Chain A
Amino acid sequence: MPEDTSRVQASPSISAGGAAVVHEDTTAKWFLISSIAYFFIVGIIAVTIAAKFVWPQLLGTVQYLTYGRLRPLHVNGMLFGWLLAADMGLAFYLIPRLCGVKLWSEKLGVATAALWNVIVLGAVVMLLMGYNQGLEYAELPTWEDVLVVIAWIMFGLNIFMTIASRKYDQMYVSIWYIMGTILWTAFVYLTGNFAVLFATGVNQANLNWMYVHNAVGLIFTPIGLALAYYYIPKASNSPLHSHKLSMIGFWSLAFVYVWTGAHHMLHGPISQWLQTISIAFSVMLLIPVWAVVYNFFATMQGQWHQLRENVPLKFLMSGVVFYLLTCFQGPMHSLRTVNAIVSKTDWIPGHAHMAVLGAFSFFAIAGTYYTVPRMFKCKLFSDTLANWSFWFLMVGGLGFFVTLWLGGFWQGWQWNNVSIPFIDTVKALQPVWLVRFFSGILMFTGIVSFAYNILATIVGAKDNPEAA
């Protein structure tokens, strides 16, 4: 891929100093390989449940393959098996480099990766067996939650100790975001998986939605942005537009995000003042989002031509656009009038998939495409296949998002008309679900292309060394 080096050479020269550091990257490799395997496996589950919407009799009445068992497996598998694991793997890659030191403990890192795999495989078994706490995003049984906490402490300890031994005083913004992710996840996860068990009724629902929204906003958003802040300058070979602006984005996210969860309960039986606070903070989210997105667009000034050839950059900048769109949708959904139409409809999975797949998974895929050849010191197996994987995921993703927005809006209008029987609103959505299924096939083809390309790169690394 062509790289324009002019902007880097024109930048002030900062001497890093010190001796060369050789990074082992064993932990990053383990996390990335396992996450890609789960991306593929859970992709099959995703297509299966999309097919069940169109053909409800599919797979009969086998209890392990019913929608109620497969849907939480899809959600947890994609969130924790694929995305968070990939994000952690990439964090293990970039933190030592940004700090100018080796990872504090590769042994602890590999143990974390092993424990994470135990958790994910345990979740597959438990969820298929029907052990489910019945709370959105917090379906895993308590013993699994305890293991997640232990694994997160191991991850956090390794990252923080590496940062503590860093060579430079000032930390690049990605380090801030990853530190934030580690601390925020601890609070968010404990609230959503433990505190929530001792509450009932409306209070439990309120805590649960605070967890669900902050799982996206304070776990996947900051670690996703950490990756984007690292890989956009790296892949485009252009320094970030403004580090100061990135700090404003970070701190405004830290202040604003935590209060938005209650917007999932608008028009519900919670206090009006709590609903209004959640609306106000949701709209304020536009501040960090614009700070982030403007920074990325300004970084790309004069570099857009690279999108023709540079596959990681294609994923990254498409992810930025999806991030902008999803974060514009979010505050708008939180307005009472809009919420009355779209809440609980198919619009919401369209919105959620644009965030988790369109934005954050695109960042993780871009990071993987950029990182794996460098870690294994080889060329990517196929640039052409990488380009195809982008287009499969892009076209499939757009088909999925747009169809569900239109269908969800239509569904919301129908639900607001009491003269339409509910079953008629279900039947009316069948064409929408058919398009969603075929979009899912396209997205799964993209996942297969990506997974095969990366695994072929790793397997053939010795036969395909990078040119000196």
Chain B
Amino acid sequence: MDYMYPSVFLAYFMFFVLTLLTLVWLIMSRKQGFWGKNSEEPKYRMMRDDDEGNYNG
């Protein structure tokens, strides 16, 4: 039994799934506001998230 081509096709199928998931995520990220007017919010918040005394907030 030659498993060569099934394994190659499996690899390409996995990368196809990966591309599909990427597209799904991309659409989700748009719906969640990552491309809107609040898209810069996380970069300011991350500056205040931790450190001195291990505090958030």
Residues of A within 8 Å of B4, CB to CB, are: 198-201, 203-204
Residues in chain B near residue A21, CB distance under 8 A: 54-56
Residues of B within 8 A of A196 (CB): 7
Are A203 and B8 in touch, CB under 8 angstroms? Answer: yes
* Interchain residue pairs with CB less than 8 A apart (19): A11-B44, A14-B44, A15-B57, A18-B56, A170-B34, A176-B29, A191-B11, A191-B14, A195-B11, A197-B7, A199-B4, A199-B8, A200-B4, A203-B4, A210-B11, A244-B40, A254-B25, A255-B19, A374-B50
What DSSP secondary structure best describes chain A's contact surface? helix
1/0 contact trace for A153-171 toward B, CB 8 Å? Answer: 0000000000000011111
Considering the chains assembled together, what is the distance between the CA atoms of A374 and B50 in angstroms?
Answer: 10
From residue B25, how far is it (CB to closest CB) to chain A in Å?
A: 8
Chain A's interface size range is 35 or more
Contact A173 B50 (CB under 8 A): no
Q: Top 7 nearest A-B pairs by Cβ distance?
A: A198-B7, A97-B50, A198-B3, A172-B42, A240-B43, A16-B57, A243-B43
A-B pairs with CB below 8 Å: how many?
Answer: 137
Complex contacts, B17 vs chain A, CB 8 Å: 187
Q: How far is the CB of A411 from chain B (nearest CB, A)?
A: 32
With A and B bound together, what is the CA distance between A20 and B57 in angstroms?
A: 7
The verdict on A247 contacting B42 (CB below 8 Å), with A21-B55, A198-B3 known, is: no
Interface residues of B: mostly helix, strand, loop or mixed? helix
The distance in angstroms between the C-alpha atoms of A240 and B44, with both chains bound, is: 8
Task: Give chain B nearest CB distance to A142 CB in angstroms.
Answer: 15
Residues of A within 8 A of B (CB): 8, 11-23, 97-98, 100, 167-174, 176, 183-184, 187, 190-191, 195-201, 203-204, 206-207, 210, 230, 233-234, 237, 239-240, 242-244, 247, 251, 254-255, 258, 374
Which residue of A has the minimal Cβ distance to B33?
A: A170
Given A18-B57, A196-B7, A234-B46, 4 more pairs with CB closer than 8 A: A22-B54, A169-B32, A191-B11, A251-B22
